[in-house]
Amino acid sequence: MEKPDISKSTASIFEKLEKLSKAKRFLLFSGIIVIIVAAFVYFILFPKIQQYQKLSSEYSDLDKKLTAAKKAAAELPKLKEEFNKAEIQLKEVMKALPESKEIPSLLESISLSGQEAGLEFILFQPGNERNQSFYAEIPVSIQISGKYHNVAVFFDKVARLPRIVNIKDVLMKFDQSKKSNDLVTTCTAVTYKFLDIKEQPAKSEKKGAPKKKTETKPGKHA
């Protein structure tokens, strides 16, 4: 089998090209150039563009993360300061919430405040505890006899106790059993205690720690 003569084949191609008109030769060469350019764009340039777009997107994401990290790093001292303040406030709140073993002494302090104010206790009865999130409310029903000024002194002493005690539902009326200007004052003193994790309700709404206040309603005078 004879091998094809490449030189003759090439010469034949050139002879055919020479026989073509200038317009056809121009169109042929233009087509060849278009095919070469298209192949370059599809096989070389287009993948490079896709790679560039991918790298550009990754760079944009990394730049955003870097900006966020720089911002977080700049705010870190401020966040630490806020955390320290919150920790101090929590410790202050915990100091204001006695533990179970301190409740008897706290109730004794309330009673002693009334005696020091010159009041006579008619009723001093702790009620059932009402558990909240991390603390429990302990209501104490109080009925005292004495002058209005002495009652005001008692409320002031209670407000100055280191533990939180709120005076609620205040009702005043003149003591009919006495001819003096003594008042019979009925109120509820609500104190609080800290609950251990075991004592805290399993499902409870998150509530803020109780704030110390003295709620006094206008008294009724009989």
Q: Show me where the domains of the chain are located.
A: 21-96, 100-194
Within 10 angstroms of residue 17's Cβ, the number of other Cβ atoms is: 12
- The pLDDT score that the predictor gives to residue 220 is 43
Q: How far is 81 from 78, CA to CA, in rounded Å? A: 5
Find out whether 219 and 166 touch, Cβ atoms under 8 Å.
no
Q: Determine what percent of the chain is predicted with pLDDT higher than 90.
A: 18
Mean pLDDT, rounded, for 46-60: 87
What integer pLDDT is reported at residue 35 of this predicted model? 87
CA distance 187 to 192: 16
The confidence score (pLDDT) of residue 219 equals 45
Selected residue with higher pLDDT from 177 and 58? 58
What angle separates helix 103-116 from helix 148-159, to the nearest 10 degrees?
Answer: 150
Is the pLDDT score of 221 beyond 50? no
Helices (H), the chain: 6-19, 22-40, 46-96, 103-116, 148-159
The average pLDDT across 121-144 equals 87
pLDDT tens-digit series, residues 146-175: 999 999 999 999 988 888 888 999 999 987
Pick the CATH number of 100-194 from 3.30.70.60, 3.40.50.10790, 2.40.30.30, 3.40.50.720: 3.30.70.60
Which has the closest alpha carbon to 142: 164, 162, 167, 160?
Answer: 167
pLDDT value for 93: 66
| Residue 201 predicted with pLDDT over 80 | no
Residues 28, 36: Cα–Cα separation, whole Å: 12
pLDDT at 217: 45
Mean pLDDT to the nearest integer, 197-212: 55
Q: How far apart are CA 128 and CA 170, in angstroms?
A: 19
pLDDT confidence of residue 95 = 65
Distance set, CA 86 to CA 89, 91, 92, 134, 194 (Å): 5, 9, 10, 17, 18
Could you give phi then psi for residue 167, rounded to 5 degrees? -95, 125
Query: Is the pLDDT reported for residue 4 higher than 80?
Result: no
> Mean per-residue pLDDT for 58-68?
90
Confidence of residue 204 (pLDDT cuts 50, 70, 90): very low
Which residues lie closer than 8 Å to 158 by C-beta, 6 or more apart?
110, 113, 165, 167, 189, 214
pLDDT digits (tens, 9 = 90+) for 84-116: 888 887 777 666 666 666 678 888 888 899 999
Mean pLDDT of 190-200: 73
State the sign of the Cα–Cα–Cα–Cα dihedral 204, 206, 210, 216: negative
The mean of the pLDDT values for the chain is 78
Greater confidence (200 vs 50) lies with 50
- Percent of the chain exceeding pLDDT 70 equals 73
163 vs 54, higher pLDDT: 54
Give the tokens for residue 92. 């202050």
